[in-house]
Amino acid sequence: MIPEKLKEGDTISVIAPSNYVEADDKIFLEKTEKLFNKYKINTIYEKNIYSNTLGYGATPLEKAEDLNNAFGNKNIQAIFCAKGGENSNTIFDYIDYSLIKKNPKIFCGFSDSTFLLNMIYSKTGLVTFHSATFKSISSWDKPCVFEDIIEKLMNGNVNLRRKNEKFEIVKKGKSEGILIGGNLNCITRMITGKYSLDFKNKILFIEDLGEETNPKFVSSFIYLLKQNEIFSKINGLWIGNYENETKIKLEKIIIDAIGNEYNFPIIKSNNFGHIDEKITIPIGVKAKIDTNKKNKIEVLDKCVK
């Protein structure tokens, strides 16, 4: 299920399912709003994005109310998460998945939004977008990030490689599968239990923030994936940005853990994650990895219609 593309006259709803929006954030939200205004796209803000009811953020019910309202509002065509944070998974029980199925829309975010991007796809089949947050577009992302958002969401471009961008081959091979993934910390918390993801025949893409997740933590996460047989299920692995003080690379940590035990191809790029040149990646579309090609990974489906 793919959403309608953004077009002139459409409206974006901004929600805050992770950290709440603070006073200092408003200037960046307004700057991003003006960027979309240039394309005659409007913005509204859901009522609970500034809520700090718990003293450490809005309640899960408040957050879910905003998400459900945004999907249910016929005047909204796209939804962006305002910013990242820590606990958007707290709203899983309160999301109206049947409502989303009836009202498929563009849904964007990254980092902690990984929870929602993958769970919404898992429960509804809706293609979602691992993209910038509404705040990051203007607070620290480079102009190419917004340009890529427009290319993907308005023009339907599915290219995952910018011009002259280098992809590294960690393990040779070719495979096809459905793209899922995002922040490694979040993905690891969706491998078992009521809200576990289906990893069978998927191409998994992962990144993490080195400032919060040192190599020992990353190693623990990778071993949890291995111990729960995730690497026995996936068809391919795409590694994104991971910068930390030790300079140890994410691909090294992964190979240290899994060696040559699995047959799927592994590629590495620096074009998604906690960086200022992140591309927009559709979740829930078929993709192909072929390490013999210039474009090591390609999307085979449309991401908007």
CA-closest candidate to residue 14, choices 59, 38, 34, 44:
44
> Could you state, in order of their start, the residue ranges of all structural domains in the chain?
11-153, 168-299
Specify the fold of 168-299: Glucose Oxidase; domain 1 (3.50.30)
* DSSP state at residue 104: -
Greatest Cα pair distance, the chain, in angstroms, is 53
DSSP sequence for 94-156: G--HHHHHHS--EEEE-GGGHHHHHHHHHHH---EEE---TTHHHHT--HHHHHHHHHHHTT-
Question: Which pLDDT value is given to residue 298?
Answer: 97
Dihedral sign of CA atoms 193, 106, 279, 291 in order: positive
Q: Which residues of the chain have pLDDT under 50?
A: none
CA pair distance 276, 253, nearest whole angstrom: 23
Question: Which pLDDT value is given to residue 164?
Answer: 81
% pLDDT > 70, the chain: 100
Per-residue pLDDT reduced to its tens digit, 227-237: 999 999 999 99
Specify the fold of 11-153: Rossmann fold (3.40.50)
Would you say 190 and 196 are in contact if contact means Cβ atoms under 8 Å apart?
A: yes
Number of H helices and E strands in the chain, helices first, is 9, 13
Question: Which pLDDT value is given to residue 211?
Answer: 84
CA pair distance 144, 162, nearest whole angstrom: 10
CA-closest candidate to residue 239, choices 279, 202, 270, 282:
270
For the entire predicted model, the pTM comes to 0.97
Structure tokens at 174: 């070719």
